[in-house]
């Protein structure tokens, strides 16, 4: 219940910030173009707060936080007194109308730069993308790793941490190959090597795995000891008597040798009782544990007991602090925003070509979970989440569907070319089609959200 409330609260805050930025873009440019704004509303439905400003605009916060709007004086909607007709939206030039409508998505891109700018000023603790193995029978099997290697580029895009590697790989979904450049951790010039991975048979399901592991790249992890650092009070291990500090000795008569092997044995024992021997206070102790069942990444039922081992600290040379000065932070934030825009546009294109399944569309439930998760990790990660969603909100609003900003822009550009407005009857048909398309996409996204629960 607490998780639900945390996710809901984080979602409302995130959505409120992003909607405010989007609608303020419309509002600000409309005022600069001489359009009278009657209402600036964050949310729909019954108002929970309202105030009329000195400019005559009614500012509203409404009950349903799933959108917002800027109500402008418009003769096509209401009767406008003769004295105010010059301030009506429909009386403005086509280029002014284009500027007003396009300002909403543009504000989302500007906000993303701002959020990332603050994030990089604060500093982002990160890890260098280092691999230590590759998996056989995967695209990455062509890479021979004799010692830990750092991924420094994916295609022609330089990468500094695993997040950037992930975004770069996602942008290549559907391509026949991916170039990955590696270098020793020493960073000596001239020792870089680029490998071309054949990805024609690359099977990647974003719901169940990361693009990194699905390619077969084995992420470097510090040494793991058999001492338990975490035992979930809701897990099967705690119920059976395992506690933090216990040292794993054996499972079903086999001595403990490595953590991965232990995990595989637990996964294979879903619903079956296993005997685990641990050392506690210098004495051996045998406990009977029945792993709970869950659906794994491959769709199969696997066992889980709710424990985690003690992990050695990350080597200092693999740690990375993405922190910049006042000027450089802006450059890095703008570049990062452009990367997010590029990846998002590519993903939308791949949805239409079939390279990415519509099953990967996410709706408000997934966004709420993402908001809650990022907020849990702290302000820096929440800012990164806001930037990502803001970019996606801006791009979605630019899609040429008549109910979205992009649809209105399409009509106005047709007006620029033809010299006359698109007939209202044609616009009405377009709005109905756009509403149907948007409803269909939202239904798919919501269905995907519920299927992931």
Q: What CA–CA distance (Å, rounded) separates 376 from 259? A: 27
CA-derived radius of gyration, the chain: 27
Cβ–Cβ < 8 Å for 412, 97 = yes
Instruction: Please confirm, yes or no, whether 23 is among the known catalytic residues.
Output: yes
Cβ–Cβ < 8 Å for 49, 61 = yes
First to last CA, the chain: 14
Cβ–Cβ < 8 Å for 204, 211 = yes
Which residue of the set 23, 207, 264, 302 is catalytic?
Answer: 23
Give the H or E element holding residue 400.
Answer: none
The residues near 27 (Cβ < 8 Å, ≥ 6 apart) are: 37, 40, 57, 70
Query: How would you write 292-340 as a 3-class SS string?
Result: EEEECCCCCEEEECCEEEEECCCCHHHEEEECCCHHHHHHHHHHHHHHH
How many beta carbons lie within 10 A of that of residue 331, not counting itself?
12
Collapsing DSSP to helix, strand or coil, 247 comes out as strand
Nearest residue to 337 via CA among 21, 104, 110: 110
Annotate 36-79 with DSSP letters as a single string: PEEEEEEEEEEEEEEEE-TTSPEEEEEEEEEEEEEEE--TTTS-
Cβ–Cβ < 8 Å for 102, 192 = no
Which residue's entry shows tokens 């609260």?
Answer: 9
- How distant, in Å, are the alpha carbons of 2, 13, 369 from that of 5? 5, 12, 11
Q: What CA–CA distance (Å, rounded) separates 291 from 236? A: 6
Q: What CA–CA distance (Å, rounded) separates 93 from 99? A: 10
**Positions marked active-site:** 23
């Amino acid at each position: 219940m607490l998780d639900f409330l945390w996710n809901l609260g984080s979602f409302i805050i995130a959505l409120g910030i992003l909607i405010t930025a989007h609608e303020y873009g419309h509002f600000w440019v409309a005022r600069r173009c001489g359009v009278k704004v009657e209402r600036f509303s964050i949310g729909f439905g019954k108002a929970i707060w309202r105030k009329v400003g000195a400019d005559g605009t009614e500012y509203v916060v409404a009950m349903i936080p799933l959108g917002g709007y800027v109500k402008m004086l418009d003769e096509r909607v209401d009767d406008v007194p003769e004295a105010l007709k010059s301030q009506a939206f429909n009386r403005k030039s086509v280029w002014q109308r284009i500027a007003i409508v396009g300002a909403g998505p543009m504000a989302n891109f500007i906000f993303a730069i701002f959020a990332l700018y603050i994030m990089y000023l604060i500093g982002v603790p990160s890890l260098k993308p280092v691999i230590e193995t590759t998996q056989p029978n995967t695209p990455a099997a062509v890479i021979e790793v004799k010692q830990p290697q750092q991924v420094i580029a994916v295609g022609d895009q330089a990468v500094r941490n695993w997040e950037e590697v992930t975004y770069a790989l996602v942008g290549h979904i559907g391509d026949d190959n991916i170039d990955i450049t590696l270098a020793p951790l020493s960073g000596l010039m001239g020792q870089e090597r680029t490998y071309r991975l054949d990805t024609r048979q690359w099977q990647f399901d974003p719901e169940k795995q990361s693009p990194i592991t699905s390619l077969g790249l084995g992420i470097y992890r510090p040494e793991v000891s058999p001492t338990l650092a975490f035992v979930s009070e809701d897990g099967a291990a705690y119920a059976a008597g395992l506690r933090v500090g216990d040292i794993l000795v054996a499972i079903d008569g086999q001595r403990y040798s490595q953590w991965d092997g232990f995990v595989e044995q637990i996964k294979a024992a879903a619903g079956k009782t296993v005997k685990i021997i641990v050392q506690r206070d210098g004495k051996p102790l045998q406990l009977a544990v029945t792993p709970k069942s869950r659906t794994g990444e491959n769709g199969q039922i696997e066992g889980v007991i709710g424990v985690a081992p003690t992990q050695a600290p990350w080597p200092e040379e693999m740690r990375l602090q993405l922190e910049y000065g006042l000027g450089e932070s802006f450059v890095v934030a703008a570049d990062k925003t452009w990367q997010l825009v590029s990846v998002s546009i590519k993903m939308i294109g791949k949805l239409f070509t079939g390279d990415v399944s519509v099953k990967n569309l996410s709706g408000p439930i997934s966004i709420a979970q993402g908001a809650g998760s990022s907020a849990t990790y702290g302000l820096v990660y929440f800012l990164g989440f806001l930037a990502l969603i803001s970019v996606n909100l801006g791009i979605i609003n630019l899609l040429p569907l008549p109910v979205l900003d992009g649809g209105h822009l399409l009509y106005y550009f047709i007006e620029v070319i033809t010299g006359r407005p698109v007939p209202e009857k044609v616009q009405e048909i377009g709005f109905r089609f756009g509403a149907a398309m948007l409803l269909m996409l939202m239904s798919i996204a919501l269905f995907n959200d519920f299927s992931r629960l």
